[in-house]
């Protein structure tokens, strides 16, 4: 069965300390309240060795059984609250992607 993933990519914030202060409750906990996901992954992008900016800062991946389930989830009040807070927290920019999961076989 194909899965669908919603990926939130946070670009480098204007103030990383302020972002990190707000992220746990306003984004991570809010994402957990979005209904229907079967798996969630969060990640922080490693800094580059030379100190130059990375193409992204953090990501949240929410996995759903299919596209319809993901689409229904983003139409909920919980998702609305998440996206509203995301607009306030993401001072460096943010991208949201819906992706069809393709699993490579050996």
Average pLDDT across the chain, whole number: 94
Closest by CA to 64, choosing from 50, 74, 77, is 74
C-alpha dihedral, 68 to 96 to 61 to 1, nearest 10°: 30
The whole-model pTM stands at 0.90
Tell me which of 14 and 47 has the higher pLDDT: 14
pLDDT at 1: 57
Each residue's pLDDT tens digit, 23-38: 999 999 999 999 999 9
- Answer whether residue 72 shows pLDDT above 90: yes
pLDDT at 52: 85
82 near 27, Cβ under 8 Å?
yes
Which of the four pLDDT bands, split at 50, 70 and 90, describes residue 9? Answer: very high
Tell me which of 25 and 2 has the higher pLDDT: 25
**4-100 carries CATH number 3.30.420.40:** no
Q: Which two tokens stand for residue 24?
A: 């746990």
Rounded to an integer, what distance in angstroms lies between the CA atom of residue 97 and that of residue 4? Answer: 10
Query: What residues does each domain of the chain span?
Result: 4-100
Mean of the pLDDT values across residues 59-74?
97
CA separation (Å) from 11 to 23, 27, 28, 45, 56?
13, 14, 16, 10, 4
């Amino acid at each position: 069965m194909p899965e669908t993933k919603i990926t939130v990519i946070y670009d480098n914030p204007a103030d990383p300390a302020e972002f990190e202060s707000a992220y746990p409750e306003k984004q991570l906990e809010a994402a957990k309240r979005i209904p229907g996901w079967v798996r969630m992954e969060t990640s922080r992008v490693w800094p580059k060795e030379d100190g130059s900016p990375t193409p992204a800062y953090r990501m949240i991946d929410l996995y759903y059984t299919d596209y319809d389930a993901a689409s229904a989830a983003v139409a909920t009040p919980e998702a609305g609250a998440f996206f509203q807070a995301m607009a306030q927290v993401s001072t460096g920019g943010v991208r949201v992607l819906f992706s069809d999961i393709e699993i490579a076989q050996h």
